[in-house]
Amino acid sequence: MQLLNNWRIILLLCLTLGLAPFFPEPHIWGKIKWIAGGAEGMLAADWFDVLFHGLPFLLLLRLLIIKLVSLKKD
């Protein structure tokens, strides 16, 4: 559980796994554009790819929400 709450590791995952491969555009960005365009022709492997490359960003969002909730309580 300690790894899931470590800002440095989550940011590193976002910058590496989340955006890889970087050229010609980040992989997750291409998948998001594909989904926004209707996701026609996406296979199960493509959806897994979205989850795999999007997970670091979901973890970052989770940390941000936890931080904001804890700031409101104080």
User: Tens digit of pLDDT for each residue in 24-69?
Assistant: 889 899 999 999 999 999 999 999 999 999 999 999 999 999 999 9
How many Å separate Cα 7 from the centre of its chain? 14
pTM of this prediction?
A: 0.83
Count of C-beta atoms within a 10 Å radius of residue 53: 22
